[in-house]
Amino acid sequence: MRRHLALIGDASWLLAERLQRVREHGSVQTALLETPQQFSANDLPEQRGVALFDCVHHGEFALAAATELRSRGSSFRCVADVPDDCCEATIAQLVAAGFWGIVFQSAPPAAVCDVIQRVSKGRLCYPSAIMDRIQTHDGHMTLAGAPTSELDRLSADEKALLSLLAGGMTTPSAALKLGIEIRAAKRMRTAFMERLQLPDSASIVRFAVRAGLI
């Protein structure tokens, strides 16, 4: 069964050979190409289809556009083309915005087409570690245990300190950069490590990477 496909993203992304081969795939009926500046939800056909967004160059736009399509009750299901090093915090945002799946930037055309076909059939397409944690409530999806929810438990000063420590600074150096006393920085570090259950410096780095802080 051939499916409607909309590609929305940067001009260089739209013209890439990888996506040209996706457009030429036998499963694609029509391919609408638009840049973020041109895109309007009204341009999408009324028939069910898949909208593949360029989240490599226009992540914030893609989140806003997907949210709008969902609020309008659009028959198009959204998929995000994301960087290979896409962090979990970003994936959590995509899930919350209503994206049905993701494809990584290095995925070959056949893999991209496979995700498009599966999403068009109403199947979510995320890595298994993400799929196991997606929860749905009143038609809205969330990612359970996502670092973004844990970040909400940190103050602005704690986030700044955590980022500096994860980037390799010592506590005294981070305190100096933030303009706070070393003793206060040490108390702050102890507090957020206990709250987030981060046992050592390595776990601080891992958390910061997952949360998109570094």
Per-residue CA distances from 20 to 30, 51, 65, 113, 135 (Å):
13, 15, 23, 12, 34
pLDDT of residue 93: 86
pLDDT of residue 115: 94
pLDDT of residue 149: 60
Residues 6+ apart with CB under 8 A from 114: none
Q: Is the pLDDT of residue 187 over 90?
A: yes
pLDDT of residue 2: 64
Do residues 69 and 100 touch, judged by C-beta distance below 8 A? Answer: no
How many CB atoms neighbour CB 141 within 10 A?
A: 18
Q: Quick one: average pLDDT of 10-38?
A: 87
CA-wise closest residue to 44 among 14, 71, 17, 8: 8
d(CA 70, CA 181): 47
- Ranges of CATH 3.40.50.2300 domains, the chain: 3-145
- Ranges of CATH 1.10.10.10 domains, the chain: 153-210
pLDDT of residue 148: 55
pLDDT tier for residue 14 given thresholds of 50, 70 and 90: very high
Do residues 33 and 56 touch, judged by C-beta distance below 8 A? Answer: no
pLDDT tier for residue 58 given thresholds of 50, 70 and 90: very high
End-to-end Cα distance, the chain: 43
Q: Is the pLDDT of residue 48 over 90?
A: no
Tell me, what amino acid is at 128? S
Question: Which architecture, in CATH terms, is 3-145?
Answer: 3-Layer(aba) Sandwich (3.40)
Average pLDDT of every residue of the chain: 88
pLDDT of residue 82: 96
Looking at 11-105, which runs of residues are DSSP E strands?
Answer: 28-34, 49-54, 76-82, 101-104
Pairing state between β 3-8 and 28-34: parallel
Candidate ranges 130-139, 150-159, 164-173; pick with highest mean pLDDT? 164-173
pLDDT tier for residue 55 given thresholds of 50, 70 and 90: very high
CATH of domain 153-210: 1.10.10.10
Report the share of the chain in percent with pLDDT over 70.
95
Q: Pseudo-torsion of CA 35, 40, 46, 48, nearest 10°?
A: 50
d(CA 26, CA 31): 12
pLDDT tier for residue 4 given thresholds of 50, 70 and 90: confident
Q: Quick one: average pLDDT of 97-117?
A: 94
How many CB atoms neighbour CB 121 within 10 A?
A: 10
Q: Write down the pTM of the prediction.
A: 0.68
